[in-house]
Homo-oligomer: A and B are copies of this chain.
Amino acid sequence: MSFAKLDQLGRKLEALEHALAILGADEATHMAIGGGEKRAQAVATLAGMHHRQATAPEIADWMGAAESEALDTDQQAALREFKRQYTNMTCLPAEFVERLTVARMRCEQLWRDLRAKNDWAGFLPALEGVIALVREEAAMRADALKLQPYDALMEQYDPGNRAADIAPVFDELKRFLKGFVPEALEVQAARLGKAPLKPLSGSYPVERQRELGLAMMAAVGFDLTHGSLSVSHHPFCGGVPTDVRITTRYKTTDFLSSLMGVLHETGHALYEQNLPQDWAHWPLGKARGMAVHESQSLFVEKQFGRNPAFWDWGLPLVEQHLGEHWSKADILPHVHMVEPGLIRVDADEVTYPLHVILRFELEQELVGGQLSPVDLPEAWDAKMRAYLGLSTIDNPADGPMQDVHWPGAAFGYFPSYTLGAMMAAQQWAALKQQHPAVDEQIARGDFETVNGWRRDNIWSQGSRYSTPELLERATGEKLNARYFIEHLKQRYGA
A434 within 8 A of B: no
A14 touches B35 (CB 8 A): no
B34 touches A26 (CB 8 A): no
- CB < 8 Å neighbour of A280 from B38, B242, B280: B38
B18 touches A228 (CB 8 A): no
A11 within 8 A of B: yes
Cα of A367 to Cα of B34 in the assembled complex, Å: 45
- CB < 8 Å neighbour of A46 from B16, B30, B39: B16
Cα of A37 to Cα of B15 in the assembled complex, Å: 12
Cα of A206 to Cα of B32 in the assembled complex, Å: 22
Q: List the B side residues contacting A46 at CB < 8 Å.
A: 15-16, 19
- CB < 8 Å neighbour of A35 from B23, B35, B226: B226
- CB < 8 Å neighbour of A34 from B29, B37, B225: B225
- CB < 8 Å neighbour of A12 from B18, B23, B49: B49
Q: List the B side residues contacting A26 at CB < 8 Å.
A: 22, 26, 30
A223 within 8 A of B: yes
Known pairs A22-B26, A38-B240, A38-B280; A228 contacts B32 (CB<8 A): yes
- CB < 8 Å neighbour of A15 from B34, B42, B226: B42
A243 within 8 A of B: yes
A19 touches B34 (CB 8 A): no
Please report the total number of A residues contacting B with Cβ < 8 Å.
40
Q: List the B side residues contacting A490 at CB < 8 Å.
A: none
Cα of A33 to Cα of B35 in the assembled complex, Å: 26
A45 within 8 A of B: yes
Q: List the B side residues contacting A35 at CB < 8 Å.
A: 226, 239-240, 242-243
A333 within 8 A of B: no
18 residue pairs bridging A and B, Cβ less than 8 Å apart: A15-B41, A15-B42, A15-B45, A18-B42, A19-B23, A22-B22, A26-B26, A30-B30, A32-B224, A32-B244, A33-B225, A34-B223, A34-B225, A35-B240, A35-B243, A38-B243, A39-B242, A49-B49
* Contact digits for A191-227, partner B, Cβ 8 Å, 1 yes 0 no: 0000000000000000000000000000000011111
A371 within 8 A of B: no
Query: Shortest Cβ distance from A441 into chain B, in angstroms?
Result: 27
Beyond A12-B49, A19-B42, A22-B23, 7 additional contacts (C-beta under 8 Å) are: A15-B41, A18-B38, A19-B46, A22-B26, A32-B242, A34-B242, A35-B226
Query: Shortest Cβ distance from A242 into chain B, in angstroms?
Result: 4
Cα of A46 to Cα of B11 in the assembled complex, Å: 11
Copy tally for this chain in the complex stands at 2
- CB < 8 Å neighbour of A227 from B32, B42, B242, B280: B32
A31 within 8 A of B: yes
Q: List the B side residues contacting A32 at CB < 8 Å.
A: 224-228, 242-244
Q: List the B side residues contacting A15 at CB < 8 Å.
A: 41-43, 45-46, 49
* Contact digits for A333-347, partner B, Cβ 8 Å, 1 yes 0 no: 000000000000000
- CB < 8 Å neighbour of A243 from B34, B45, B228: B34
- CB < 8 Å neighbour of A11 from B45, B228, B242: B45
Query: Shortest Cβ distance from A299 into chain B, in angstroms?
Result: 23
Cα of A229 to Cα of B180 in the assembled complex, Å: 53
**In the complex, residue of chain B having the shortest beta-carbon distance to the beta carbon of A244:** B32
Known pairs A15-B46, A19-B42, A38-B18; A228 contacts B280 (CB<8 A): no
- Lowest 4 A-B CB distances belong to which pairs? A35-B243, A15-B45, A18-B42, A34-B225
**In the complex, residue of chain B having the shortest beta-carbon distance to the beta carbon of A37:** B242
Cα of A447 to Cα of B472 in the assembled complex, Å: 69
A38 touches B242 (CB 8 A): yes
Cα of A45 to Cα of B280 in the assembled complex, Å: 15
Cα of A2 to Cα of B15 in the assembled complex, Å: 30
Cα of A18 to Cα of B32 in the assembled complex, Å: 14
Query: Shortest Cβ distance from A266 into chain B, in angstroms?
Result: 14
**In the complex, residue of chain B having the shortest beta-carbon distance to the beta carbon of A273:** B34
Q: List the B side residues contacting A18 at CB < 8 Å.
A: 38-39, 42
